[in-house]
Structure 1
Amino acid sequence: MSSPVARGAAWLRRIARRSRRLLPDSKHPAQMVVAGFALAIAVGTVLLMLPISSETGTVTHWVNALFTATSAVCVTGLVVVDTPGHWSTFGESVVLGMIQIGGFGIMTLASMLGMLVARRFGLRMRRTAQTETKSLGLGDIRSVVAGVITVSLIVELVTTTVLTTRFTLGYGESLQHAAYLGLFHAVSAFNNAGFSLYSDSLVRFATDPWICLPMVIAFVIGGLGFPVLFEIGRRLRHQRRYWSLHARVTLGTYATLAVIGVAAFLSFEWNNPGTLGRFGVPGKLLAGFFHGLAPRTAGFNSVDVGELHPATMLVTDVLMFIGGGSAGTAGGIKVTTFALLAFVILTEVRGETNVHILGRKLPVVVHRQALTVVLVGGGLVFVAALALMVLSPFRLDAVLFESVSAFGTVGLSTGITSQLPQAGQLVLVLLMFAGRLGPITLASALALRERGRRYDFPEERPIVG
Structure 2
Amino acid sequence: MTRSDGGRRGPALYVVAAFAAAIVVGTLALMVPYARAGHGGAPPLVALFTATSAVCLTGHVVVDTSSYWTPFGQTMIVLLVQVGGFGIMTAASLLALLVSRRLGLRGRLLAASETKTLGLGSVRRVVVGVVVLSVIVEAGVAVVLTLRFWTAYDTALHSAAWQGIFHAVSAFNNAGFALFPNNLTSFVTDPVISLVVLVAFVLGGLGFPVLFELRRTWRRPRRLSLHSKITLWVTAVLAAIGVGAQLVLEWTNPATLGPLAVPQKALAGLFQGMTPRTAGFNTLDFGAMNETTWLVTDALMFIGTGSAGTGGGIKVTTFAILGFMIIAEARGANDVDVAGRRVAPAAQRQALAVALLGVGVSFLGTLLLLATSGIALDRVLFEAVSAFGTVGLSTGITAELPGPAQAALIVLMFIGRIGPVTAASALALRQQVRFYRLPEERPIVG
Instruction: Pick the TM interval, shorter chain.
Output: over 0.9
Match of 1:331 among 297, 308, 312: 312
**Over residues 34-73 of structure 1, what are the superposed CA-to-partner deviations in whole Å (9 max), with x where a residue is unaligned?**
0000000000000001100000141211001000000000
Match of 1:172 in 2: 154
Q: Is the 8 A contact 2:50 2:62 kept in 1?
A: yes
Opposite residue 424 of structure 1, the aligned amino acid is A
Match of 1:29, SS state, is helix
Larger radius of gyration: 1
Listed as ranges, the gaps of 5+ residues in structure 2 are 1-5
Match of 1:411 in 2: 392
Equivalent runs, 1:273-352 vs 2, <5 Å: 273-352=254-333
TM-score by length of 2: 0.97
Deviation at 1:130, TM superposition (A): 2.3
Match of 1:271 in 2: 252
Deviation at 1:399, TM superposition (A): 0.4
Deviation at 1:124, TM superposition (A): 2.5
Deviation at 1:354, TM superposition (A): 0.6
Match of 2:414 among 433, 437, 455: 433
TM-score by length of 1: 0.93
Equivalent runs, 1:63-102 vs 2, <5 Å: 63-102=45-84
- Structure with higher RCO (Cα < 8 A, 6+ apart): 2
Distance 1:456 1:409 in 2: 41
Q: Is the 8 A contact 2:100 2:111 kept in 1?
A: no
Opposite residue 422 of structure 1, the aligned amino acid is G
Match of 2:3 in 1: none
Distance 1:121 1:449 in 2: 11
Opposite residue 283 of structure 2, the aligned amino acid is S
Equivalent runs, 1:391-406 vs 2, <5 Å: 391-406=372-387
Distance 2:328 2:244 in 1: 28
Match of 2:67, SS state, is helix
> Does 1:182 pair with 2:164?
yes
Q: Is the 8 A contact 2:57 2:174 kept in 1?
A: yes
Match of 1:116 among 98, 104, 113: 98
Match of 1:103 among 81, 85, 95: 85
Distance 1:241 1:141 in 2: 27
- Give the 3 Å change call, closer, same or farther, for CA 412–116 of structure 1 in structure 2: same
Deviation at 1:270, TM superposition (A): 0.4
**Over residues 91-133 of structure 1, what are the superposed CA-to-partner deviations in whole Å (9 max), with x where a residue is unaligned?**
0000000000000000001000001011122423332442455
Q: Is the 8 A contact 2:142 2:164 kept in 1?
A: yes
Opposite residue 459 of structure 1, the aligned amino acid is E
Deviation at 1:136, TM superposition (A): 2.9
Listed as ranges, the gaps of 5+ residues in structure 1 are 1-23
Deviation at 1:279, TM superposition (A): 0.5
Q: Is the 8 A contact 1:51 1:60 kept in 2?
A: yes
Q: Is the 8 A contact 2:277 2:311 kept in 1?
A: yes
Q: Is the 8 A contact 1:115 1:138 kept in 2?
A: yes
Match of 1:149 in 2: 131
Runs of 4+ residues over 6 Å off in structure 1: none
Q: Which moved further from structure 2: 266-275 or 122-131? A: 122-131
Q: Is the 8 A contact 2:56 2:84 kept in 1?
A: yes
Deviation at 1:367, TM superposition (A): 1.1
Q: Is the 8 A contact 2:96 2:118 kept in 1?
A: no
Identity rate, percent: 56
Matched residues, number: 441
> Does 1:446 pair with 2:427?
yes
Q: Is the 8 A contact 1:25 1:32 kept in 2?
A: no
RMSD over aligned Cα atoms: 1.4
> Does 1:41 pair with 2:17?
no
